[in-house]
Structure 1
Amino acid sequence: MQCHYYDAALCRSCTLLPTPYAEQVAGKERHCRTLLGDPAGLAWLPPVLSPEARFRNKAKMVVAGTVQQPTLGILDADGHGVDLRDCALHSPGLHAALPALARVVTGAALTPYDVPARRGELKHLLVTESPDGELMVRFVLRSTEAVARLRKHLPALRAALPRVRVVSVNVQPEHKAVLEGEREIVLTADETLPMRLDAVTLHLRPQSFFQTNTPVAAALYRQARDWVDAAAPSSVWDLYCGVGGFALHVAGPGRDVVGVEVSTEAVASAQLSASEAGLAGAAFVADEATAFALRTQPHEAPDLVVVNPPRRGIGPELAGWLEASRARHVVYSSCNAVTLARDLAAMPSLVPVQARVLDMFPQTSHYEVAVLLARHAVP
């Protein structure tokens, strides 16, 4: 993939850009195999590849510059804006939307936040595109001072971008490297962006997490569904369930599924999706995953547990609980193979039997890996 920003040394976020794509993927699989030790009996499925460009469904743009000439992109070493609205990673819908949103910044007189001077209002623009081409647009502001102006300009925004479904303001008043704050003000009647993946529609709220690569995320959910269906459990937990991606893909007749997620917004989204799909056997709980598990006796564990933790992994407490539990299988989806390897070492009776690298983040060293664990007696 060619990138004029990279060639001009304006952005070097894509650290593997000079490396041919096939070599990138091969290197990621080697890295993962090395970390996991490639134990006997572990079958590696072919890696899931991604488009090399236009795969990102989310743009996280730092806003800088001036009202009349805003930059949407990143900051340089001195805290000044570098405009990256032509980034080749963004989906076609995002690529088309960013110039229109820059005009909204000017029209609504949203003063970009000046990091060195610590003044201004608009810090970030966060834009997500659904598989159907609809958009969620979030303006991260330092205060609510400009909310009324944004409401006034909402018709103009929708005229320029008819596919916009959700618009919100996130309030992040602190001067620190934090993408967003806790308070969200939704400006549209619609509060969720439907994300249709195969036969499952997920509902994404402004502060909900969703994978940035839609085709690879769909492949990840299909892989988990295939493993779960082959194991045929009657009961499943989906820990760190987010908006319910794994839980809703594996739910079905004769199977009780419980999704656990600390975000109440994400749980509300998952419940809405389950209701629309008529999945009476799928329930969702707002709770911290480890705390939820530790309140359950190991002999009362479900047949199968799906875990999809953040980069820190599941940690020793949850790993110890799973090791002691009656769960026959675990599906572990990891975005950090280092912590995955640590967690697997703490669960010696849950043996990796299949694994698959999914290239969620082309042009970088990051990747997703899914592992199916089956319980074996430890000699």
Structure 2
Amino acid sequence: MRCDYYRAGVCRSCTHLEVPYPEQVVAKDRRVRDLLSAVVPADAWRVPFVGPESGFRNKAKLVAGGTTGAVTLGILDPPGRGVDLRECGLHEAAIVAALLPLAGFIDDIGLIPYAVPERRGELKHVLVTAAPGGALMIRFVLRSTAQLALIRNRLGLLLDSVPGADVVSVNIQPEHKAILEGEREIILSPNDSLRMPLGPVPLYLQPGGFFQTNTVVAQGLYAQATSWIADAEPGTVWDIYCGVGGFALHAAYEGRRVAGIELSPSAIAAAQRSAADLGLDEGQAVFRVEDAGASADTLPGPPGVVVVNPPRRGLDADLVRWLDDCPAQTMIYSSCNPQTLARDLAALSRWTVREARLFDMFPQTDHSEVAVLLGRAGS
């Protein structure tokens, strides 16, 4: 991937940009294999799944800088001044196409970029997510509601001028800290969720919700999990830390009964909406707002397959013990942190790894996503 920002030295976020992408994948695969060598047999590894090395990010997290009428969208330099990266090659084409008119909108209505050194201004970040097909969610992170009316009153102009603009919101983050967003979200557009169809399954993303940032590789991850589930032929699949229901809904589309658990009410609402779109009733798909570490055994079952997709911290100790004792004969563990994955696999004493695969969600970096298929030890 060629990057003029990198060549000019203004952005060095892509730490492996000078390494040819095939070599990056080989090195990353070797690193995760070495890290997991004590818990994953060498013959369990499958060929890594990769997507494009550029134009793959479906979410842009842009710091607003510059001055009123001349905003920059990108990062901050060491003194805290804005560096414009609106043509970053990591972002999907729909995002890149939107950033020029979006910056023009910000300049035209007079939003004041937040100046970190002076602790003054309003607009802190602009967050843009692209759905397959090009529809966009645009979120303005403001220090306060002082300029909220400027966006609300010109919403029609924004929807008309930015290609694909579909969901628009304002997030309020008043603290002078390196925090991306605050707790308060104000939806401005008629639509409050971005429809994210992945193959035959329509998923929905609300502002502040989690979604894999690489759509192509996410599709590959769901396809792999669906294949593993099909091989196990379970009657029921439990999806723990289910988020918007990606794993469960792909299994349900293939005719499995599924149940998901997640702490985020908005994510569960999104999963329920997707289930309704697919024509699934509560006998086929159940999604509940619960603490995954404490309430997994409240789901309808018993499960033949359990899918776990925890945050970077990995599994809670109580959930590890529950997984060891649960009736499932097959487990799929999807992890964005190989270190906690290694710890958890070592702690799951009644399971053994059958297959493992790297999914390169994050080209040009060291970050890794690994999916592991486990079966009962001794079976």
Using the size of structure 1 for normalisation, the TM-score is: 0.95
Select between 36-45 and 276-285 the one with higher mean Cα deviation: 36-45
How far 1:133 moved relative to its partner? Answer: 0.7
**Which amino acid counterpart does residue 235 of structure 1 have in structure 2?**
T
3-state secondary structure, aligned to 1:103 = helix
How far 1:268 moved relative to its partner? Answer: 0.6
3-state secondary structure, aligned to 1:111 = coil
Q: Is 1:32 aligned to residue 32 of structure 2?
A: yes
3-state secondary structure, aligned to 1:319 = helix
Contact 1:113 1:123 in 2 (8 A): yes
Cα distance 1:303–1:42, how it changes in 2: closer, same or farther (>3 A)? farther
Select between 59-68 and 152-161 the one with higher mean Cα deviation: 152-161
Q: What is residue 82 of structure 1 aligned with on the other side? A: 83
How far 1:294 moved relative to its partner? Answer: 6.3
Contact 2:60 2:129 in 1 (8 A): yes
**Which amino acid counterpart does residue 279 of structure 1 have in structure 2?**
L
Aligned length: 376
1:1-379 matched pairs, under 5 angstroms: 1-37=1-37, 39-40=40-41, 42-252=43-253, 255-280=256-281, 281-293=284-296, 302-377=303-378
Q: Distance between the aligned counterparts of 2:280 and 2:36, measured in 1?
A: 36
Q: Distance between the aligned counterparts of 2:113 and 2:255, measured in 1?
A: 53
Contact 1:42 1:355 in 2 (8 A): no
How far 1:27 moved relative to its partner? Answer: 1.0
Q: Distance between the aligned counterparts of 1:363 and 1:74, measured in 2?
A: 18
Cα distance 1:96–1:3, how it changes in 2: closer, same or farther (>3 A)? same
* Identity %, equivalent residues: 54
Which blocks of at least 5 consecutive residues in structure 1 are unaligned? none
Select between 237-246 and 253-262 the one with higher mean Cα deviation: 253-262
**Which amino acid counterpart does residue 111 of structure 1 have in structure 2?**
I
Contact 2:29 2:358 in 1 (8 A): yes
Cα distance 1:72–1:251, how it changes in 2: closer, same or farther (>3 A)? same
How far 1:132 moved relative to its partner? Answer: 1.1
Contact 1:203 1:243 in 2 (8 A): yes
**Residue deviations 1:146-197 (CA, integer Å, cap 9, x gap):** 1211012111112212421100001111111111111111111111111111
Q: Distance between the aligned counterparts of 2:338 and 2:351, measured in 1?
A: 17
Contact 2:261 2:296 in 1 (8 A): no
Contact 2:358 2:368 in 1 (8 A): yes
**Residue deviations 1:299-332 (CA, integer Å, cap 9, x gap):** x752211011111111322112211222211100
Cα distance 1:147–1:232, how it changes in 2: closer, same or farther (>3 A)? same
Cα distance 1:51–1:80, how it changes in 2: closer, same or farther (>3 A)? same
Cα distance 1:197–1:253, how it changes in 2: closer, same or farther (>3 A)? closer
Cα distance 1:253–1:15, how it changes in 2: closer, same or farther (>3 A)? closer
Contact 1:294 1:318 in 2 (8 A): no
Contact 1:142 1:173 in 2 (8 A): yes
Q: Distance between the aligned counterparts of 1:94 and 1:253, measured in 2?
A: 32
**Which amino acid counterpart does residue 251 of structure 1 have in structure 2?**
A
**Which amino acid counterpart does residue 283 of structure 1 have in structure 2?**
V
**Which amino acid counterpart does residue 61 of structure 1 have in structure 2?**
L
**Residue deviations 1:201-260 (CA, integer Å, cap 9, x gap):** 101111111011101001100111110111011122111111111110011576321111
Q: Distance between the aligned counterparts of 2:27 and 2:254, measured in 1?
A: 40
Q: Distance between the aligned counterparts of 1:155 and 1:278, measured in 2?
A: 34
Q: Distance between the aligned counterparts of 1:253 and 1:178, measured in 2?
A: 40
3-state secondary structure, aligned to 1:12 = coil
3-state secondary structure, aligned to 2:242 = coil
Select between 321-330 and 240-249 the one with higher mean Cα deviation: 321-330
Contact 1:259 1:285 in 2 (8 A): yes
**Residue deviations 1:335-354 (CA, integer Å, cap 9, x gap):** 11111010000012211101
Cα distance 1:349–1:81, how it changes in 2: closer, same or farther (>3 A)? same
**Which amino acid counterpart does residue 269 of structure 1 have in structure 2?**
A
3-state secondary structure, aligned to 2:154 = helix
Q: Distance between the aligned counterparts of 2:254 and 2:230, measured in 1?
A: 12
Q: CA RMSD in A?
A: 1.7
Q: Distance between the aligned counterparts of 1:215 and 1:296, measured in 2?
A: 31
Contact 1:104 1:153 in 2 (8 A): no
Q: Distance between the aligned counterparts of 1:41 and 1:209, measured in 2?
A: 32
How far 1:43 moved relative to its partner? Answer: 2.3
Q: Distance between the aligned counterparts of 2:165 and 2:37, measured in 1?
A: 47
How far 1:107 moved relative to its partner? Answer: 1.5
3-state secondary structure, aligned to 1:19 = coil
Contact 2:41 2:353 in 1 (8 A): no
Contact 2:201 2:249 in 1 (8 A): yes
